[in-house]
Amino acid sequence: MKFIRFLKECFKVIVRGSHRYYIWLAFLFGVIVWGSTGYIQQIKQGLLVTNMRDPISWAYYIGNFTFLVGVAAAAVMLVIPAYIYNWKPLKEVVIFGELLAISAVIMCILFVIVDVGNPLRLWHMIPGIGTLNLPSSLLAWDSLILSLYFVLNLVVVSYLLFNHFYQRETKKRLLNTLILLSIPVAIGIHTVTAFLYNGFAARPFWNSALLAPKFLASAFCSGPAVLIILFQILRKTTTFEIKEEAIWKIAELMAYAMFINLFFFAAEVFKEVYSDTEHLVHLEYLFKGVGENRDMVMWGWTSLIISVIAFLLFLIPATRKNVITLNIGAILIWFGVYIEKGIALLIPGFTPDVLGQIYIYRPSLIELKISAGIFAIGFLIFTLMTKIAIAIIFENFNITSLKKKPA
C-alpha cells in the first residue's frame, strides 16, 4: 500500500516540470516516434532494411549493445569506493550511477530485440518455458546475467528512494549485501559479453584472452565519462549537488583505467604485428585497409588518437581540474570508446569474412533511426528516474513535506 502511494507521488513529480523539461521530453518523444517508424518498416520487410548481410551478420545494433553493457558498469565503478571505503563525496551520487545502469541495461535489451529476426519467438529463451541452451551458449548466459543486474539495480534504487521518501532508516545489512552482490554481477555482465565474442574460434580478431580484461578497462572509462557530463548538466539545470572533489576523483580513476586499456591494446598490437600471421589482416583492415578497402581506417585512428589525448588530459592534474579540459576529455573518452566498441570491434572482426571475402558495411538510415529511437527511450527513462531521485534527495520531497502542505 505504502509503495503504491510512493509510486503515485513519484508520478506527480514526473508530470510537473519547467518549460525546459517539457521541451526535452517532447524532443525525446519525437525521436522515439521517428525511431518506431523505422522499426515498423524493419518488422515488415525484415532485416533486409539494414545493411547487414551474411558476411557481416552483426553490426551497428550489436555494437551499441556492447558499448552500453560497458556504460552499465558506471554504477559499480562508483559503488566500490563509495560503499566499501565509505567515501562520502561519492556516496550520494552513486544512486545516479545506478539509474544510469538501469537505463543502459534497458537499452541493451532493446538493441538485442531489434537485432533478432524473430522477436516474437524470444519466449524460446525464457528458462523453463523455452529451451535455453545452458551451459554452452554464451548469449543464454548473457541474457540471464543482464536480467539479474537489471533487477538488482532496480531493487537497490527503489529501496533507497522509497525509504528516503518515508524518511525511514534503511536496513544497512540488507542493502550492503545487495550492493556488494551487484559488484561481481556488474563485472559479470562485461565479462560474459566479452566471452560472447571471445568464444568464437572462427574469428581470430576476438579470440584473444585479453578481450574480457579490455572490456572491463574501457567500461571503466566510458561509463564514468557519461556520468561526469551528466552530473554537470544536472548541477546546472537542477538542484542536484556534487562536489568538485568527487568529479576529480572519478576523472583520476578513469585515467588509470584508460592507461590499462591502452596498454592491453599495445600488447595485442605487438602480438599480431610481430608474429605476423594471417590473423594480422583484421588489425590491418582497421588501421591500414586491405587492398582498396580503407573504410575502417578513419575510425581506427580516430578512436586511438582521441583515447590517447583523453588519457593525457585526465592524467595531468591541472587539466583534470580545469572545467573545460575535463569536459573535453570526457567527451573524447566517450567517443573513443563508442567507436572502439560500436564499430572497431565488430566490423574488423567480420572482415575479411571466414572465407576471406570483404563486404563493406555502413549502417543504413533505418539502423541509425532505430538506434536513435532506442537511445531516446534510454534517455527518457533516465530523465524520469533522475527527476524523482533529485526531488527526493535534494528537494526535500518526502512524506512529511507532503503532509505539511495540503494538496
Partner 1 sequence: MSIKKTIGSTMKLNRRTFLKASAVASSTAALAACGSKSALDEFLQKNFRFMSKQEIGEVIQRLETQYAQQYGKEISVSAKEALPETFFGYALDISRCIGCRKCVYACVEENNQTQAPQMHWIQVLEMEKEKGIDFMDANLYYQHEEVPHEGHFYLPVQCQQCKNPPCVKSCPVNATWTTKDGIVVVDYNWCIGCRCCMAACPYGARHYNWGQVELDPETINPDTHYLGNRPRYKGAVEKCTFCIQRVREGRYPACVEVCPVGARKFGNLLDPDSEIRYILENKRVLILKEELNTQPKFYYFYGT
Question: Contact positions toward partner 1, by CB under 8 A?
Answer: 45-48, 50, 52-55, 57-58, 112, 115-125, 129-133, 136-140, 143, 196-197, 199-203, 278, 281, 350, 352-357
Cα–Cα distance for residue pair 81/181, rounded to 1 Å:
15
For partner 1, the closer of residues 124 and 168 by Cβ is 124
Q: Are 303 and 265 in contact (CB under 8 A)?
A: no
Least distance CB 7 / partner 1 (angstroms): 22
Own/partner long-range contacts of 49-55 (Cβ < 8 Å, ≥24 apart): 49/364, 49/366, 50/363, 50/364, 50/366, 50/367, 51/361, 51/362, 51/363, 51/364, 51/367, 52/361, 53/359, 53/361, 55/350, 55/351, 55/353, 55/357, 55/358, 55/359
For partner 1, the closer of residues 282 and 369 by Cβ is 282
For partner 1, the closer of residues 133 and 177 by Cβ is 133
Least distance CB 192 / partner 1 (angstroms): 12
Least distance CB 351 / partner 1 (angstroms): 12
DSSP 205: T
For partner 1, the closer of residues 31 and 125 by Cβ is 125
Q: If DSSP codes are grouped into helix, strand and coil, which group holds residue 293?
A: strand
Q: Which residue has the cell 574480457?
A: 212
Least distance CB 138 / partner 1 (angstroms): 7
For partner 1, the closer of residues 160 and 196 by Cβ is 196
For partner 1, the closer of residues 122 and 174 by Cβ is 122
Least distance CB 14 / partner 1 (angstroms): 25
For partner 1, the closer of residues 235 and 362 by Cβ is 362
Q: If DSSP codes are grouped into helix, strand and coil, which group holds residue 53?
A: strand
Whether the CA torsion 114, 116, 119, 123 is positive or negative: it is negative
Q: Are 369 and 35 in contact (CB under 8 A)?
A: yes
Classify residue 377 by burial, with Cβ atoms within 10 Å: 0-12, 13-18, 19+: buried
Cα–Cα distance for residue pair 338/303, rounded to 1 Å:
8
Least distance CB 320 / partner 1 (angstroms): 39
For partner 1, the closer of residues 49 and 230 by Cβ is 49
For partner 1, the closer of residues 111 and 220 by Cβ is 111
Name which of 340, 319, 33, 382 is nearest 217 in CA terms: 340
For partner 1, the closer of residues 112 and 306 by Cβ is 112
Q: If DSSP codes are grouped into helix, strand and coil, which group holds residue 333?
A: helix
Least distance CB 118 / partner 1 (angstroms): 5
DSSP 189: H
Cα–Cα distance for residue pair 105/190, rounded to 1 Å:
12
For residue 354, the number of C-alpha atoms closer than 13 Å in the C-beta half-sphere is 7
For partner 1, the closer of residues 84 and 122 by Cβ is 122
Least distance CB 114 / partner 1 (angstroms): 11
Query: C-alpha distances in angstroms, 316 versus 90, 319, 322, 329?
Result: 21, 6, 10, 11
As given in the structure block, the three cell numbers for residue 83 are: 560503499
Least distance CB 141 / partner 1 (angstroms): 9
Supply φ then ψ for residue 113, to 5 degrees: -60, -45
Query: C-alpha distances in angstroms, 34 versus 105, 107, 376?
Result: 22, 17, 10
